[in-house]
């Protein structure tokens, strides 16, 4: 009570003084005087008892020093405020009281960081979950409960990651870098084995003799129980720590990156298995080897109607016109699928308009949102569209994003957030995070605040990489607190080259771009082909696509695609052609029971994963099949190249500012990099498709046109099925549709029918 008592009193005094400033109340002024005197006396007690408390808890570190000196300064300000009050200088008193309350709040903030940890505020916010992704989805508790023998290397890795995560989330606030209570740190192997002022806390192989295990196992009310503050460890967490000690307190030493899998950086050209029958293309030969190893049988290829719809949506994002479908089905050429893929890839405008969404997500490019109002964000729309339309080689695409022109600079410029933002979100650090995630498939977000708990990337690594994008060297901030250390300047993979430390930012970026796009940077090109494979097939060869150190389901396939991509001049369209003309792409799609099954360690590839149309694809499908959702070209983003001449009578959704309809269907706000979209339906989507104004308005407007054009039920249903589903209705479908329409179709019944067709899986999914 004595430590925290003045906070409320001085704050109440300030509030009453502000009220008195307007109302001039004698009663309020007397109350303010009393509160101020008591508050100052309490502040003196607070400093005294705080020092006693810090001695008893042996607090130390930079956070404690800031808290202590903030307390002294606040006490001095409070005394000055009291003197000015006694001298009846009300204006000076008000100013000093305001500064004093700020000082109390500032000191209290750092006091809370000592008591509850650096993240005592952010840990209770919905956005507090960091986007860290563990290397394994296996629950360590599984083998903790069942394995009494030696652990294999993967289990050692999983267990060590789990232990470090438990310690970081529960123990570092008192036994970490910022504070070492009892001279004990638990944030490194050497520190744990050293113990604290009372001796060792971990005895390998003997949890019964380990003080740490005894303390965490004590009941909550026991004065020796740990953690002393915050939530208690769960039974599972205690069991994991006991098991870890029992197994010898395993903590691999030696190399820095010894406990995590790190994918090879250099490229590799695997030997192709022999061709067999109709399995002649390299992709199919590699997949065939995988199928044979996993005892998976090839299934017959999908029919022409499924293939044309699939490849249209994947290459240009549009439904195929009914006449194109019928012509394709009737075509008897043996290479008609290859010819169709070439034809679609040559539709440069449509190709660019479709793939804009994919790259807008990845490159955080949008047409409105955070940063645009204040001028702290720049779009790259013109540059991106032009690059896609001419099929710019990927190595030049990457170079112009990292060592940018004026039109492509928005990607690494980041967002200058309004208000106060933590140091891990400064624009240079955003650039480091974005480049590493998009082009190298690794996550620096956690390591931008502290050493990562689930990878070996360190805080110093992130700052050294961020310095390449900075005009001056950055001071390292740990959990938003300055450390006094200045970071170096270094590329994440030093094997690729050495950045000139004292060079201009422009030169550093040019060097970085040149180093990253070298053919020997196999990681860059593996990451690219894995993203395209995931986009076309519903699941990457490596998942998640931003964790390229994870094990691919076929390393040979990934490496061959990457090396072939480089050999073919970094041609993105050739890569897409290679995939969509393979026998593998033409396999029937499969589904998963749960979204998490996609990420499972025991995932087995059997073909494309069935997926839902994206927000833009769905919008364009409605526009194509029924009525334009975005008919007015004036709503299309104004900075599009002026020479776009689309053959379509509506605006493509990819170029329209985000709205509630597209948001409900999964289009992200792009304030952060987004490299995958969920394919699962959700409640928001269901509500928007049943009650949303945008969809309802589109149906109402379109029903008038359809009613005038198709006066009879039969002709209307047939035309609608052909445009929406690429086929004529079955007998039972025609009968059901005619019941909805009634003898004479009216606008309301047409709306009902279109709504029903738009919700069927055959329309919403890519099979």
What confidence tier does 480 reach under pLDDT thresholds 50, 70, 90?
Answer: confident
Closest CA to 3 of 76, 59, 68, 63: 68
pLDDT of residue 138: 41
pLDDT at position 413 over 70: yes
Contact between 103 and 74 (Cβ < 8 Å): yes
pLDDT of residue 141: 47
Helices (H), 87-210: 90-116, 140-146, 153-170, 172-175, 189-194
* Nearest-angstrom CA–CA distance, 255 and 248: 19
In sign, the C-alpha dihedral spanning 92, 98, 104, 110 is negative
Averaged confidence pLDDT in the chain: 85
Q: Tell me which residue has tokens 């445009």.
A: 723
pLDDT of residue 261: 80
What is each CA distance from 380 to 298, 412, 563, 607, in whole angstroms? 43, 11, 29, 35
Residue predicted with more confidence, 373 or 662: 662
For residues 710, 715, 718 and 719, what is the CA-based torsion angle, rounded to 10 degrees?
Answer: -30
What confidence tier does 436 reach under pLDDT thresholds 50, 70, 90?
Answer: very high
Contact between 725 and 762 (Cβ < 8 Å): yes
Closest CA to 334 of 300, 356, 314, 304: 304
* pTM over the 0.85 mark: no
Give the up-direction half-sphere exposure of residue 136: CA atoms within 13 A in the CB hemisphere. Answer: 19
Residue predicted with more confidence, 632 or 306: 306
Structure tokens belonging to residue 332: 């008897």
Closest CA to 495 of 262, 258, 268, 265: 265
Residue predicted with more confidence, 94 or 302: 302
pLDDT of residue 182: 82
* Nearest-angstrom CA–CA distance, 354 and 341: 15
Between 55-59, 251-255, 278-282, 681-685, the lowest mean confidence (pLDDT) is in 55-59
Q: Is the peptide bond preceding residue 28 cis, with omega within 30 degrees of 0? A: no
Domain residue extents for the chain: 5-116, 140-246, 350-412, 615-664+681-766
pLDDT digits (tens, 9 = 90+) for 447-476: 898 888 777 888 999 999 999 999 999 999
Contact between 212 and 249 (Cβ < 8 Å): no
* Nearest-angstrom CA–CA distance, 34 and 548: 64
Closest CA to 638 of 629, 651, 627, 620: 651
Burial label for 116, CB within 10 Å (0-12, 13-18, 19+), is: middle
Structure tokens belonging to residue 461: 């690594």
Q: Are strands 481-486 and 611-612 parallel, antiparallel or unpaired?
A: unpaired
pLDDT of residue 258: 45
* Nearest-angstrom CA–CA distance, 267 and 559: 7
Percent of the chain at pLDDT > 70 equals 84
> Can you give the C-alpha Rg of the chain in angstroms?
32
pLDDT at position 255 over 50: no
Q: What average pLDDT score do residues 139-151 get?
A: 59
Contact between 579 and 568 (Cβ < 8 Å): no
Residue predicted with more confidence, 384 or 261: 384
Structure tokens belonging to residue 745: 């179709």
Residue predicted with more confidence, 515 or 650: 515
Closest CA to 196 of 183, 186, 178: 183
pLDDT of residue 650: 86
pLDDT of residue 134: 36
User: What are the beta bridge partners of residue 475?
Assistant: 486
pLDDT at position 78 over 80: no
Structure tokens belonging to residue 327: 């012509």
Q: What would the DSSP string read from start to end of 519-588?
A: TT-HHHHHHHHHHHHHHHHSS-SSSSTT-TTSPPS-HHHHHHHHHHHHHTTS-HHHHHHHHHTSTTTTSP
Q: Tell me which residue has tokens 């004093």.
A: 100
Q: What would the DSSP string read from start to end of 484-526?
A: EEEP----SSGGG----TTS-HHHHHHHHHHHHTSTT-HHHHH
Contact between 614 and 666 (Cβ < 8 Å): yes
pLDDT at position 127 over 60: no
Residue 156 neighbours by CB distance under 10 Å: 17
* Nearest-angstrom CA–CA distance, 676 and 539: 10
Closest CA to 322 of 301, 343, 308: 308
What confidence tier does 111 reach under pLDDT thresholds 50, 70, 90?
Answer: low
Between 74-78, 487-491, 659-663, the lowest mean confidence (pLDDT) is in 74-78
Q: Tell me which residue has tokens 């042996």.
A: 58
Between 232-236, 258-262, 582-586, 695-699, the lowest mean confidence (pLDDT) is in 258-262
pLDDT digits (tens, 9 = 90+) for 722-752: 999 999 999 999 999 999 998 889 999 999 9
Between 240-249, 715-724, 750-759, the lowest mean confidence (pLDDT) is in 240-249
């Amino acid at each position: 009570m004595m430590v925290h008592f003045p906070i409320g009193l001085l704050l109440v005094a300030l509030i009453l003084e502000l009220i008195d400033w307007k109302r001039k109340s004698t009663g309020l002024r007397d109350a303010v005087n009393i509160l101020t005197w008591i508050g100052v006396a309490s502040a003196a007690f607070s400093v005294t008892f705080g020092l006693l408390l810090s001695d008893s808890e042996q607090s130390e570190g930079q956070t404690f020093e800031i808290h202590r000196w903030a307390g002294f300064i606040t006490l001095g300000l409070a005394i000055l405020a009291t003197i000015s009050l006694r001298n009846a200088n009300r204006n000076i008193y008000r100013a000093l009281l305001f500064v004093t309350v700020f000082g109390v709040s500032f000191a209290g903030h750092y006091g809370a960081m000592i008591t509850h940890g650096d993240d005592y505020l952010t840990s209770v916010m919905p956005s507090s979950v960091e986007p860290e992704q563990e290397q394994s989805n296996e629950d360590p508790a599984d083998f903790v409960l069942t394995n009494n023998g030696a652990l294999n290397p993967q289990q050692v890795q999983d267990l060590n990651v789990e232990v470090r995560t438990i310690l970081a989330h529960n123990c570092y606030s008192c036994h970490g870098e910022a504070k070492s209570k009892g001279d004990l740190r638990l944030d490194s192997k050497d520190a744990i084995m050293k113990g604290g002022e009372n001796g060792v806390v971990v005895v390998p192989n003997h949890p019964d003799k380990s003080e740490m295990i005894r303390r965490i196992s004590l009941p909550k009310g026991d004065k020796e129980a740990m953690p002393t503050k915050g939530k208690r460890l769960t039974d599972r967490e205690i069991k994991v720590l006991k098991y870890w000690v029992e197994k010898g307190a395993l903590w691999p030493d030696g190399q820095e990156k010894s406990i995590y899998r790190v994918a090879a950086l250099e490229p590799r050209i695997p030997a192709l298995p022999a061709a067999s029958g109709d399995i002649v293309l390299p992709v199919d030969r590699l997949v065939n080897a995988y199928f044979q190893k996993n005892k998976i049988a090839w299934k017959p290829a999908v029919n022409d109607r499924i293939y044309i719809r699939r490849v249209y949506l994947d290459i240009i994002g549009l439904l195929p016109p009914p006449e194109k479908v019928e012509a394709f089905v009737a075509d008897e050429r043996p290479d008609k699928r290859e010819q169709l893929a070439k034809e679609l890839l040559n539709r440069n405008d449509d190709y660019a308009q479709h793939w804009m969404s994919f790259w807008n997500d990845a490159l955080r490019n949008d047409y409105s949102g955070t940063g645009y109002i204040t001028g702290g964000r720049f779009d790259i729309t013109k540059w991106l569209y032009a690059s896609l339309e001419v099929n710019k080689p990927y190595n030049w695409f990457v170079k112009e994003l990292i060592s940018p022109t004026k039109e492509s600079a928005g990607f690494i410029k980041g967002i200058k957030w309004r208000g106060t933002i933590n140091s891990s979100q400064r624009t240079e650090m955003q650039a480091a995070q974005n480049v590493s995630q998009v082009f190298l498939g690794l996550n620096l977000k956690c390591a931008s605040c502290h050493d990562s708990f689930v990878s070996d990337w360190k805080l110093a690594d992130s700052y050294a990489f961020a310095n390449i994008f900075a005009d001056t060297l950055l001071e390292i901030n740990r959990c938003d607190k300055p450390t006094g250390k200045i970071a170096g300047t270094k590329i994440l993979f030093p094997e690729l080259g050495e950045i000139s430390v004292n060079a201009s930012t422009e030169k550093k970026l040019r060097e970085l771009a040149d180093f990253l796009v070298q053919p020997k940077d196999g990681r860059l090109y593996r990451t690219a082909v894995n993203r395209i494979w995931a986009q076309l097939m519903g699941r990457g060869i490596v998942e998640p696509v931003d964790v390229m150190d994870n094990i691919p389901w076929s390393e040979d396939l990934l490496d061959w695609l990457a090396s072939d991509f480089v050999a073919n001049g970094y041609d993105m369209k050739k890569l897409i052609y290679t995939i969509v003309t393979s026998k593998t792409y033409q396999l029937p799609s499969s589904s998963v029971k749960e979204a998490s099954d996609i990420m499972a360690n025991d995932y087995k590839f059997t073909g494309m994963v069935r997926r839902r149309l994206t927000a833009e694809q769905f919008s364009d499908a409605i526009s194509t099949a029924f009525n334009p959702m975005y008919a007015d070209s004036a709503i299309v983003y104004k900075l599009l190249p002026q020479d776009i001449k689309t053959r379509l009578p509506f605006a493509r959704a990819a170029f329209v500012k985000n709205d509630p309809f597209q948001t409900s269907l999964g289009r992200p706000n792009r304030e952060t990099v987004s490299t995958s979209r969920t394919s699962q339906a959700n409640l928001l989507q269901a509500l928007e498709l049943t009650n949303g104004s945008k969809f309802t308005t589109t149906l109402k407007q379109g029903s008038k046109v359809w009613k005038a054009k198709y006066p009879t039920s039969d002709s209307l249903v047939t035309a609608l099925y052909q445009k929406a589903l690429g086929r004529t209705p079955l007998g039972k479908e025609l009968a059901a549709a005619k019941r909805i329409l009634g003898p004479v179709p009216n606008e309301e019944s047409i709306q009902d029918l279109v709504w029903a067709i738009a919700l069927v899986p055959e329309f919403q999914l890519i099979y």
